[in-house]
Amino acid sequence: MPGPVESADVIVVGAGPAGSAAAVHLAGAGLDVLLLEKAVFPREKVCGDGLTPRAVRELAGLGLDTRPEAGWRHNLGLRIWAGRPYPYLMPWPVLADFPAYGLVRRRADFDALLADRAVQAGARLVQPVTVTAPVLNRAGRVVGVQTKAGTQYHAPVTLACDGNSARLAIAAGRDRRLDRPLGVAVRAYYASPRADDLWLESWLELWDGPPGRSHLLPGYGWSFPLGDGCCNVGLGLTDSSTGFGRVDYRDLLRRWLDTTPPEWGFREANRQGRIGSAALPMGFNRRPLYRDGLLLAGDAAGLVNPFNGEGVSYALESGRYAAEQIVQARSRGLGCGAAERALQAYPVRLGRAWGGYFRLGAVFGHIIGHPRVMRLATRYGLPVPAVRQLVHRLLANLSDQSPRDVYDVVVNTLSRLTPSA
């Protein structure tokens, strides 16, 4: 067996949002961090590139300057198309716990920026290196990782942030939970005059012809303006949707986009680059999130929000939670019982933060996954301003923990009273 090439206090596998965020917090607390990444930055990542105020709050905590002067493109909220020929405008709420703006940034650029931030904080980024399996000691504890090139990295704690492939977690026997929702999303970039729009756009109903007089397609759609001449346009659906697993997602995207006004530019001739698709692992779909020296965060832990398909914020936040628990464990002396309890508190903390909310999201997704139910909801629910505001806050998981209005109370109470996912 090859000997270790390098060792550290913590190994973080994957330098996406979860891994880089964890590395920033760990290195910032003085730990020696090895951040192992399969690709070489900048690299493409199939995503909608949309960041809600939840994600913006995490970026601030990572020490990133997200002001427009620093090159970030702010958006004001959501423009929702549903059930009527003109849209609803839903500005991001003004809250104490979150900023009132979102961002859009290509993941190729965004992820490179986060990885740079981790390096600045002191993490050792190694790329390209493909991790294939954990290294176990005699007691079955994870004490490092094995790479495709045949080398090993050793550390007393390992954090799997390798995205929806969850290769390390699977190799360590962490199973996927089949009772959790799973989504698929597909996206492409189009040169468009709407690229400077200040609103994220979302379609709750997708038609393949004139609305109300053609076929209602499964799923929801988006257009996120990048401000660089292009929009990121895509659609997603969950396994509770009619046709999930049987439809051709690229064809679905084209059929829907062909119904949008030609002057928007969402046509094949204006497409820049390939159409990409990937899975959305939702609602804690892998377990256990900690055992025997290995923690899971981000998509590797199945932390995409079942309400809206948002995963970047939950990746950033879970990376931070994992880092904080590892820092506490280390201060107690890794390997002792007290340190182990700090690591075991990680899944408990995630469950407390999002358990009820994700369970609620799974139920919501199941109900709304049927196009007819969605139609009823958009026709009779959304026109009511109070319902609209509540749905907006609930879907984006934006409420103040110390409630300041009735929407905070309802969102917090629903999340707290729903049994954890």
Q: For ligand FAD, give the closer residue by CB, 282 or 374.
A: 282
Q: Which residues are within 8 A (CB) of 133 and not within 5 positions of it... i.e. 6 or more apart?
A: 145, 146, 168, 171, 172
Q: With CB under 6 A as the contact rule, which of the stretches 7-15, 209-217, 334-342, 387-395 interacts with ligand FAD?
A: 7-15
Residue 205 binds ligand FAD, judged by CB under 6 A: no
Cα of 244 vs its chain's centroid, Å = 20
- In the set 29, 82, 143, 185, which binds ligand FAD (CB under 6 A)? 185
145 with 130: CB under 8 angstroms?
Answer: no
Q: End-to-end alpha-carbon separation of the chain, Å?
A: 40
Q: How many CB atoms lie within 10 A of CB 418?
A: 17
Q: For ligand FAD, give the closer residue by CB, 78 or 339.
A: 78
**Smallest distance, ligand FAD to C-beta of residue 164, A:** 6
- Burial label for 416, CB within 10 Å (0-12, 13-18, 19+), is exposed
- In the set 6, 39, 259, 375, which binds ligand FAD (CB under 6 A)? 39
Torsion from C-alpha of 8, 12, 14, 19, nearest 10 degrees: -130
Q: With CB under 6 A as the contact rule, which of the stretches 34-42, 239-247, 256-264, 285-293 interacts with ligand FAD?
A: 34-42
Nearest CA to 165 among 354, 296, 346? 296
Residue 275 binds ligand FAD, judged by CB under 6 A: no
Stretch 227-256 residues interacting with ligand FAD (CB under 6 A):
234
Q: For ligand FAD, give the closer residue by CB, 294 or 339.
A: 294
Residue 216's H or E segment, with its range, is strand 216-217
**Smallest distance, ligand FAD to C-beta of residue 140, A:** 21
Residue 46 binds ligand FAD, judged by CB under 6 A: yes
64 with 72: CB under 8 angstroms?
Answer: no
> Helices 356-368 and 406-417, interaxial angle, to 10°?
100
Q: For ligand FAD, give the closer residue by CB, 56 or 329.
A: 56
- In the set 6, 45, 126, 244, which binds ligand FAD (CB under 6 A)? 45
Q: Which residue is nearest to ligand FAD (CB)?
A: 311
167 with 132: CB under 8 angstroms?
Answer: yes
Torsion 145-142-4-11 (CA) sign: positive
Residue 58 binds ligand FAD, judged by CB under 6 A: no
**Smallest distance, ligand FAD to C-beta of residue 114, A:** 9
In whole angstroms, give the CA distance from residue 224 to residue 294.
36
Q: In which residue are the tokens 């001449």 written?
A: 229
Residue 131 binds ligand FAD, judged by CB under 6 A: yes
Q: For ligand FAD, give the closer residue by CB, 292 or 310.
A: 310
Q: For ligand FAD, give the closer residue by CB, 37 or 197.
A: 37
Q: With CB under 6 A as the contact rule, which of the stretches 157-165, 210-218, 359-367, 398-406 interacts with ligand FAD?
A: 157-165
Stretch 284-323 residues interacting with ligand FAD (CB under 6 A):
298-300, 304, 309-313, 315
Q: Which DSSP string corresponds to 32-70? A: -EEEE-SS-SS----S--EE-HHHHHHHHHTT---SGGG
Q: How many amino acids of this chain bind ligand FAD (CB under 6 A)? A: 40
Q: With CB under 6 A as the contact rule, which of the stretches 32-40, 345-353, 396-404, 408-416 interacts with ligand FAD?
A: 32-40
Which residues contact ligand FAD (rule: CB under 6 A)? Answer: 13-19, 36-39, 45-50, 130-131, 161-163, 165, 167, 185-187, 234, 278, 280, 298-300, 304, 309-313, 315
